[in-house]
A and B are shown apart, each in its own frame.
Chain A
Amino acid sequence: GDSVTQMEGPVTLSEEAFLTINCTYTATGYPSLFWYVQYPGEGLQLLLKATKADDKGSNKGFEATYRKETTSFHLEKGSVQVSDSAVYFCALSVGDSSYKLIFGSGTRLLVRP
């Protein structure tokens, strides 16, 4: 079945460090890919998306490129801030009857000053 695999956390970085959170997927069709973020005490928010191969999603300094050949959608940021501390979820949506989101297990990021 369709699935998403994320690197396990927590990931602990110093401020201004480079961030990569790995995400790979398995899908029978042609999925759309998403990164959602959950800040402490808040709900899930869309961070970025990509809907076809080689698309790059970007927002708030974060980027991810839809790589069909490696079935990956890794999240990157060149210089993290303390305010980026949150849980990040990779997700896919593939057409069956509902386009429901299938989530990875989430990766907690902690950025230290």
Chain B
Amino acid sequence: GAGVSQSPSNKVTEKGKDVELRCDPISGHTALYWYRQSLGQGLEFLIYFQGNSAPDKSGLPSDRFSAERTGGSVSTLTIQRTQQEDSAVYLCASSPSGRGNEPQHFGDGTRLSIL
């Protein structure tokens, strides 16, 4: 079946521009996560959505980062006024119900490069 789909796969933009990254989770999965993979920081949690509950935004590094999830399915991660330190691979994952013993299924990521 279809896995987690992310777009675009690569994004190059100039410092100061806004970017939007998209994630389409596995159908029926209620839990959705965003992570960031960078050389200096490894894999870091950014934000978590579960059904209609308020999202856990505890991992967002600054108020330039925001995310939404519409209709309990597709999610968009937005970075405003991008900085060079935002360059990283942004990974989306989903799981059936968000329980801790469930594995998370990852997309291939969006590689973001800030010039």
Query: Taking beta carbons and an 8 Å cutoff, which residues of A are in contact with B?
Result: 31-32, 34, 36, 42-46, 49, 51, 89, 91, 93-95, 97-106
Contact assessment for A44 and B91 in the assembled complex, using a CB-CB cutoff below 8 Å: yes
Contact assessment for A99 and B42 in the assembled complex, using a CB-CB cutoff below 8 Å: no
Q: How far is the CA of A100 from the CA of B93 in the complex (A)?
A: 10
B76, chain A: closest CB distance, angstroms: 19
Chain B interface bracket (under 10, 10 to 19, 20 to 34, 35 or more):
20 to 34
Query: Taking beta carbons and an 8 Å cutoff, which residues of B are in contact with A?
Result: 31, 33, 35, 42-43, 45, 48, 50, 56, 58-59, 91, 93, 98-109
Contact assessment for B56 and A98 in the assembled complex, using a CB-CB cutoff below 8 Å: yes
A98, chain B: closest CB distance, angstroms: 4
With beta carbons under 8 angstroms apart, the residue of B56, B91, B101 that contacts A100 is B56
The verdict on A100 contacting B45 (CB below 8 Å), with A32-B100, A43-B91, A95-B100 known, is: yes
Contact assessment for B42 and A103 in the assembled complex, using a CB-CB cutoff below 8 Å: yes
Contact assessment for A99 and B99 in the assembled complex, using a CB-CB cutoff below 8 Å: yes
Chain B residues closer than 8 Å to A51, beta-carbon distance: 100-101
Additional A-B contacts beyond A46-B105, A94-B100, A101-B45 (20; CB < 8 A): A34-B103, A43-B108, A44-B91, A45-B106, A49-B101, A49-B103, A89-B43, A91-B43, A98-B33, A98-B45, A98-B50, A98-B56, A99-B31, A99-B102, A100-B33, A100-B48, A101-B93, A101-B104, A102-B45, A104-B42
Chain B residues closer than 8 Å to A91, beta-carbon distance: 43
Contact assessment for A43 and B42 in the assembled complex, using a CB-CB cutoff below 8 Å: no
B70, chain A: closest CB distance, angstroms: 19
